[in-house]
Amino acid sequence: MKAIVHVALKAGVLDPQGKAVADTLTRMGYKEVEAARISKVIELDLDSGLSATDAENRVKEMCEKLLANTVIESYRFELSA
């Protein structure tokens, strides 16, 4: 089983990396870029013997404890066989 975790800054949290990317793209001539937000994707290979419910609970726990700073970041994940 595979879990794909998406972690991004919450709305309203400053994103200096995203600002740098947007500013640089604009300077490069991509005037249509108004803003950019940087996020991360984490792929986890899980034990195939784990039930879907257990996998969901464990990945949520991983996100809450390590993968996302839930004060300033939100996360979502998908599980696939």
Residue ranges and CATH numbers for the domains of the chain are 2-80 (3.30.1280.10)
What CA–CA distance (Å, rounded) separates 47 from 5? 16
Whether residue 16 is predicted with pLDDT greater than 90 in this model: the reply is yes
Q: What is the rounded average pLDDT of the residues 32-39?
A: 97
Q: In what order do the strands lie in the sheet with 39-45?
A: 39-45, 2-9, 73-80
Sign of the C-alpha dihedral computed for residues 29, 34, 38 and 39 taken in this order? negative
Q: Within 10 A of 67 (CB to CB), how many other CB atoms are there? A: 19
Mean pLDDT of the chain, nearest integer? 97
Reported as type and span, the H/E element at residue 56 is: helix 52-62
pLDDT score, position 37: 97
> How would residue 81 be classed by pLDDT, with cut points 50, 70 and 90?
confident
Q: Render pLDDT for 41-59 as a digit per residue (tens, 0 to 9).
A: 999 999 999 999 999 999 9
